[in-house]
Amino acid sequence: KNQVEQSPQSLIILEGKNCTLQCNYTVSPFSNLRWYKQDTGRGPVSLTIMTFSENTKSNGRYTATLDADTKQSSLHITASQLSDSASYICVVTLGGYNKLIFGAGTRLAVHP
């Protein structure tokens, strides 16, 4: 079954600290993996997209990694800011289809 699992479900960190969110997937065939940030009441905004051959990609303070062998990805946030408070969703595209498989998301709260 094509699934994307994220951990932790929720996370609270202090402003300025780093954190890492995890994503494991069983989607096959695999096309690409995306991380989205979704603020409350808004649509998801793309942070990174990685194909099979890419194992790291950065977007400012966000760095995503991909291990296609173990089917794991992580999103590392450096020097967190209050505005990083949001849900972070890992999404895998099913190869050969226009179909995205969504994880349930990690809800991150950054406290001052």
Binding residues for other proteins, rule: CB under 8 A, are: 31-32, 34, 36, 41-46, 89, 93, 97-100, 102-105, 107
Q: Of 98, 58, 53, whose CA–CA distance to 74 is shortest? A: 58
Task: Return the number of the residue (34 or 77) whose C-beta is nearest other proteins.
Answer: 34
**Nearest approach, Cβ of residue 109 and other proteins (Å):** 13
Q: Nearer Cβ to other proteins, position 91 or 110?
A: 91
Task: List all residues 6 or more positions away from 6 whose beta carbon is below 8 Å from its beta carbon.
Answer: 21, 22, 23, 24, 88, 89, 90, 103, 104, 105, 106
Name which of 80 and 93 has its Cβ closer to other proteins: 93
